[in-house]
Amino acid sequence: MISVLFAVLTALSNGAASVLQRRAASTAPDSEAMRLSLIGHLLRQKVWLAGIGLVIVAAVCQAVALATGPIAVVQPIFVIELPATLLMAGFVMRVRLPRPVWSGVAAVTSGLALGMASAAPGGGSATVHGAAWVPALILTGLFEAALIAAALATRGNPRAALLGLAAACAYALTAALMKDAMARLDEGGAAALFTAWQLYGTAVAGVGALFLLQNALQAGTLVAVQPCLTLGDALISILYGVTLFGEELRTGWWVLPELLALGLIAVGCVALARSPLASGNATAPARARRVD
């Protein structure tokens, strides 16, 4: 229960951060794409800094969630980040949510429930044994390089989608490294944690993921980025959980409802990302002026 609670808190923080970062990144000129100057541009915007603050909160909550639960349980819960954020934003801004938003919320949440019930993830170890990290890091690097190369060869929403998937892969790697690092803390205390390469690998992967996400949000619309980011993070994290930590999922005929769950989540993410709340264009209704 602790891991689920902190996974939900992580999702809320990350979802709000994505919307704020998208609002800031959309103002950056195309000439700053895939350049460090993009970060310099964003550092001057309070909205982006607020998003980074939420990213830090999310990182702390995620560390607790991964330290207390399987990665195949924790990471898929993050698909609720966008619907939960839009619901909160609508409440705070006093914006009436249209029917497509409610349909998107229902699709994502029901897809998550169906997927978790069908896959029933669990088991596994807290640490990665032997040299299993070596092939995992090599394959991840090759996959990331292919995605970035393909993204640089295109523009607009296709680039945003490819970079969103690259960011998702980097976030999934960050989570796997973080889980392995936190296990060292349980086994050998602070000394074991700060001497583990996984801790510093977490920092490097996290910075890389953040850089890729900013470029994805700058390249295209949130509707192009969010489905790749949300589904990619969940699926690649599950892959890391199964291959590196030995976690288990149901297979056989259970694959059918699992695929249905993925479809529901994808459709829901697209519907939600189209919302004016997600793009930052929603406005609160004007108050009626009092007539004396």
State the SS3 of 203-228: HHHHHHHHHHHHHHHHHCCHHHHHHH
> What is the chain's mean pLDDT, rounded?
82
102: helix, strand or coil: helix
Domain-located, residue 291:
no
Report how far apart, in Å, the C-alpha atoms of 265 and of each of 10, 113, 218, 246, 274 are: 18, 10, 24, 25, 14
Domain-located, residue 48:
yes
**pLDDT (tens digit per residue) in 11-25:** 888 777 766 766 666
Q: Look at 159 and 185; give whichever has higher pLDDT.
A: 159
Domain-located, residue 275:
yes
Q: Which residues contact 203 (CB under 8 A, 6 or more apart)?
A: none
Q: Which residues contact 39 (CB under 8 A, 6 or more apart)?
A: 211, 214
Domain-located, residue 287:
no
**Which of 150-154, 156-160, 224-228 is predicted with the least confidence, judged by mean pLDDT?**
224-228
Where in the sequence is the domain holding 108, given as residue range(s)? 2-279
Give the pLDDT of residue 104. Answer: 85
Domain-located, residue 184:
yes
Domain-located, residue 260:
yes
Q: How many domains does the chain have?
A: 1
Give the pLDDT of residue 286. Answer: 42
Domain-located, residue 179:
yes
**pLDDT (tens digit per residue) in 163-190:** 999 999 999 999 999 999 888 877 777 8
Q: Which residues of 251-279 are buried (b: 16+ CB within 10 A; e: fewer)?
A: eeeeeeebeebbebbbbbbbbbbbbebbb
Q: Between vectors from CA 170 to CA 166 and to CA 10, what angle results, nearest 5°?
A: 115
Is residue 272 within 8 A of residue 101, CB to CB? The reply is: yes
Give the pLDDT of residue 185. Answer: 79
How do the residues of the chain divide into helix, strand and coil, expressed in percent and rounded to 5?
A: 80, 0, 20
pLDDT at residue 290 above 50? Answer: no
DSSP H helices, 99-155, are 99-119, 133-152
As given in the structure block, the two tokens for residue 111 are 């897809």
**pLDDT (tens digit per residue) in 92-142:** 567 777 788 888 888 988 998 898 889 888 878 888 887 899 999 999 999
Which of the given ranges, 16-20, 50-54, 149-153, has the highest pLDDT on average? 149-153
pTM here is 0.78
Domain-located, residue 168:
yes
Q: Look at 152 and 130; give whichever has higher pLDDT.
A: 152
